Amino acid sequence: MIQLIKPYVGFEDIREQLEEILDSGMLTKGKYSKAFPQKVAEYVGARHGFLTTSATTALSMCLKLVGLGPEDEVLVSDFSFPATVNVVEDLGAKPVFVDVSRETFNMLPDDLEAKITDRAKACLFVDALGNPSGLLEIARICRERGVVLIEDAACAIGSSVAGRKCGSIADLTCFSLHPRKLLTCGEGGVITTDDDDYADLLRVKLNHGADPSTGEFVSYGYNYRMAEIPSMMGLAQIGRIDEIVAERREERGEYKSRLEPLGFVAQAADDNVYHNMQSVTFVVPDSVSRDDLCGYLKSHDIECTIGTYCLSDCVYYRDKYDSVQPNAKYLQDHTITLPCYSGVPVSEVCDAVEAFVS
């Protein structure tokens, strides 16, 4: 089986640290879970970093910080994994689906401006498949309209815009450490911010509501802690991110050279964007059934998947809001993500694609 992705950390990379943690008996709130978020913040160029149990809890926590109420609206990139909109629905606010570009797969600035109302409290911009194209323009609009920008950078560790890494641009940024991500701890998330007020709130809210300097429970809060072992795994990988991204970008170049002549169109990125290639995703030619191609590849032991989901077309949201966005729907139905990791046999995957198309 040619897997879709493989983690960039192995047992030998962490053997000594694992033994140290188990021998110490310090399985949580130890030196690794303190050092790891600081290293992530340092890497992306942010002032503050905080660990959570997942990108989902990170997004939920950030939305709670802005004080959402039942009359509030959150503008949401419509091409993403459902977790992006689920956190809005869970907090009782109304998601407003903003359509995306068929080229970059990211939120369209014009559609965002058209849909911002006085009830808009936050904007969830998604770096689709790790691509932050358009982020600076969206940030400008949010700043001018007084809307808090929360970047769903679940896939975007290592990506940058105009020399600024994802995690240092939005008011709040959320990363994922899921196994399909370049930096994985099994599960987990990271929040980064430059805002000292948000950072002060996060120190309390992520600590059961206790002020870490006094130990007094000054608010209510949550246990979204990441334990020592996954924190150590993350710390062992973060120094290799740029190397991993460079390798994935090279592999994506190989895919493009083979598949573009067949009519496949790669996800585009703006000229000022450095895309980490979290996912190598193509729009399939009109003459090709994406679902049939996926079935063919899987029958030949090659894992693949769709790009991601049109949130407004998920059954629950389609039935409740009846606001399916056409570009996001098109991408949901016409994109394919191919294997990408260290040593992936790109030529073998492309040979199978070519055999199906021919």
Same domain, 182 and 314: no
Output the 3-class SS for the chain.
CECCCCCCCCHHHHHHHHHHHHHHCCCCCCHHHHHHHHHHHHHHCCCEEEEECCHHHHHHHHHHHCCCCCCCEEEEECEECCHHHHHHHHCCCEEEEECECCCCCCECHHHHHHHCCCCEEEEEEECHHHCCCCHHHHHHHHHHHCCEEEEECCCCCCCEECCEECCCCCCEEEEECCCCCCCCCCCCEEEEECCHHHHHHHHHHCCCCECCCCCCECCCCCCCCCCHHHHHHHHHHHHHHHHHHHHHHHHHHHHHHHHHHHCCEECCCCCCEECCCCCEEEECCCCCCHHHHHHHHHHCCECCEECCEEHHHCHHHHHHHCCCCHHHHHHHHHEEEECCCCCCCHHHHHHHHHHHHC
Query: Does 159 map to a domain?
Result: yes
Same domain, 160 and 37: yes
Using the 3D structure, point to which of 239, 255, 287 is the last residue of a domain.
239
Same domain, 186 and 164: yes
Query: Does 218 map to a domain?
Result: yes
Q: Which residues of the chain have pLDDT under 50?
A: none
At residue 102, the pLDDT reads 98
Query: Does 134 map to a domain?
Result: yes
Using the 3D structure, point to which of 188, 205, 239 is the last residue of a domain.
239
Same domain, 200 and 253: no
Query: Does 309 map to a domain?
Result: yes
Output the domain CATH number for residue 344: 3.90.1150.10
Using the 3D structure, point to which of 194, 220, 239 is the last residue of a domain.
239
Same domain, 216 and 262: no
At residue 265, the pLDDT reads 98
Query: Does 1 map to a domain?
Result: no
Query: Does 4 map to a domain?
Result: no
The number of folded domains in the chain is 2
At residue 69, the pLDDT reads 86
Output the domain CATH number for residue 137: 3.40.640.10
Same domain, 246 and 267: yes
Same domain, 178 and 266: no
Same domain, 188 and 70: yes
Amino acid at 75: L
Same domain, 192 and 246: no
Query: Does 5 map to a domain?
Result: no
- Residue 111 burial (C-beta neighbours within 10 Å; 0-12, 13-18, 19+): middle
Same domain, 88 and 143: yes
Same domain, 69 and 131: yes
Same domain, 175 and 309: no
* Segments forming the whole domain that contains residue 344: 241-357
Q: Taking the model in full, what pTM does it have?
A: 0.97
Query: Does 60 map to a domain?
Result: yes
